[in-house]
A and B are shown apart, each in its own frame.
Chain A
Amino acid sequence: MGIEVVVEGLTKSFGRQSIWRDVTLTLPAGEVSVMLGPSGTGKTVFLKSLIGLLKPEQGRVLINGVDMVNSPERDIYETRKLFGLMFQDGALFGSMSLFDNIAFPLREHTRKKESEIRRIVMERIEIVGLLGAEGKLPGEISGGMRKRAGLARALVLDPQIVLCDEPDSGLDPVRTAYLSQLLIDLNAQIDATMLIVTHNLDIAATVPDNMGMLFRRELVTFGPREVLLTSEEPVVAQFLGGRREGPIGMSEEKDAATLAAEAGTAVADDARPRRIVPQLEPSPGLPPRRAVARRRERVMGMLDRLPPAARSAIRETYAHSAQAPTLPMPATGSGA
């Protein structure tokens, strides 16, 4: 089972420029979470802070009792072995073939025999659909292939926590859909805690159990996906609708004057409620996601603290799968 990631009061700035303040959230063990946010709101910085590559000025990131911000370097290096991080552009080693890239963590951290390594690596290469390209250098393949190779490398040590930095950027819609399915399938297979940072609305709508959004140097909200998907918050509504009207401007945020002018023009707001699309299921033949049952129990426990819209949305989702048992043995896998 994955590991819970607890973030408390995290604050990060570069020089005088504050990136985000006082971010507090918990990534529930084994569940898939998505962090949304317009470009340039520090999503990647947040990911790198979770894993200890960047040091926030305040706050803690607790994983298995290790604080990734302030603990000794040695503990942080140990804890990092629990992580798999997929970089935005793959961050493959340019001088090594794809095979050697994906084998790198195994060769560094395990004493496996070369035949064993070959078996594991080829298995991962097959999962991400790169069979036949394992001898190529990263410079010889397309951006999408580099991304998938980066994912394979992140998965090779069976991580407990998987972080994906914009898995969709540079991919066509079809590949993005495959990738979404791949992430869900992975979660079903290895039951790892996953955090996906993206601004892709399709991934946001279909993949996660939980969703959060960063905007204006703050965490706007974080919670079960229904909370964000039904939120009336202007930022969230604008982002999910992909509209120009709202607080998000071309240069991150609009000034008050523009906003007021906009309010005066009374935009033809399509106020139809957003429909919540069902979450993706693991592909047929795979085990059901164990996180589903855990999440259901957790969400039901916090139901009365959620906003009414979210509450009814959650009731509706679970109504469809009311017959599914709560304990991990659902024959068909329940919808979210």
Chain B
Amino acid sequence: MITGALRQTGRLFALAAEVSRAFFRRPFQFREFVEQFWFIAGVTILPAALVSIPFGAVIALQVGSLTQQLGAQSFTGGASVLAVVQQASPLIVALLIAGAGGSAICADLGSRRIREELDAMEVMGVSPVQRLVVPRVLATMGVAVLLNGLVSVVGTLGGFFFNVVLQGGTPGAYLSSFSALAQLSDLYVSELKALVFGFIAGIVAAYRGLNPRGGPKGVGDAVNQSVVITFLLLFFVNMVMTAVYLQIVPPKGG
């Protein structure tokens, strides 16, 4: 049981290493990359925007009510923007990439595997990792980074709107506390998180897709597992990255 789990983990890391090496190997599958990028962006942009508005609103309302009790209303803007940019945005992106993009990648690769298409590809001397997995992982990473920008903007606007319109905050206080507390490195770490989460989502989806157990039912199980495993990994990695970031980058307000 334990050795089984360790073996799976090891093979997941081996695939991650192989994919990272293949990033730089020619020929690069540009066409496949563009197609996958387009597909993943297409299935994630709208849901991401729709999720980020209420998410920004919820954070603004929650933080607003807390700060009101503490008498620190003027800092609502800075606090909610930091929460959205650093935490909410990369996680929303990751959940959508894993749930919408990763599950599609996993199902696609899994059904190719059980139909022996991947074997056929290997027999023709074409590596499925190089030909199929690398463009997909790069696409999830690229979409994650760009989507993260979108979600940050939409989430911040949502928070601004709810704070100003519903809680009677002033736009000036919102913006000034924002520029007092937030710094550029907050955005950098947010984008870095999105990049890493995109990589993890792509690799896990590809790993489960390349190794389904038994026929069509196995592919369904693999898709299910890939989403669950991705979520678990993402939240864990997010915790580690947040802890490290808070340690090494000094907060601006302090």
Q: Which residues of A line the B interface, CB within 8 A?
A: 48, 51, 53, 77-78, 80-81, 83, 85, 87, 89, 91-94, 104-105, 108-109, 153, 157
Contacts and interface: CB of A to CB of B under 8 A. Distances in A.
A78 B125 contact: yes
- Determine chain B's interface SS by DSSP, over half rule: helix
Nearest to A79: B125
A157 B123 CA distance: 12
B116 A80 contact: no
Contact of A53 (B112, B117, B123): B123
A80 B128 CA distance: 14
A53 B122 contact: yes
A172 B46 CA distance: 52
A104 B117 contact: no
Nearest to A52: B122
B119 A87 contact: yes
A51 B112 CA distance: 19
Given A53-B123, A85-B123, A108-B126, 11 more contacts: A53-B122, A77-B127, A80-B123, A81-B125, A85-B120, A87-B120, A93-B120, A105-B125, A108-B124, A108-B131, A109-B126
Interface string B92-118: 000000000000000000011001110
A89 B115 CA distance: 9
Contacts of A157: 124
B243 to A, nearest CB: 38
A53 B117 CA distance: 13
A91 B123 CA distance: 11
B119 A91 contact: yes
26 contacts: A48-B119, A51-B123, A77-B125, A77-B127, A81-B125, A83-B123, A85-B123, A87-B116, A87-B119, A89-B116, A91-B115, A91-B117, A91-B119, A91-B120, A92-B120, A93-B112, A93-B117, A93-B120, A94-B115, A94-B117, A104-B124, A105-B124, A108-B124, A108-B126, A109-B124, A109-B126
Contacts of B127: 77
A116 to B, nearest CB: 18
A85 B131 CA distance: 19
A85 B119 CA distance: 10
Given A91-B115, A94-B115, A80 B120 contact: no
Interface residues of B, number: 14
Contact of B119 (A53, A94, A105, A109): A53
Contacts of B119: 48, 53, 87, 91
Contacts of A92: 117, 120
Contacts of A93: 112, 117, 120
Contacts of B115: 91, 94
- Most chain A CB within 10 A, of B112, B116, B120, B131, is at B120
A116 B165 CA distance: 66
Closest 5 CB pairs of A and B: A91-B120, A91-B116, A80-B125, A81-B125, A85-B123
Contacts of B111: 94
A71 to B, nearest CB: 14
A85 B117 CA distance: 12
Contacts of A108: 124-126, 131
Contacts of B124: 80-81, 104-105, 108-109, 153, 157
Contacts of A83: 123
A298 B111 CA distance: 46
A80 B122 contact: yes
Residue of A53, A89, A109, A157 contacting most chain B CB atoms (<10 Å):
A53
A236 to B, nearest CB: 30
A91 B126 CA distance: 15
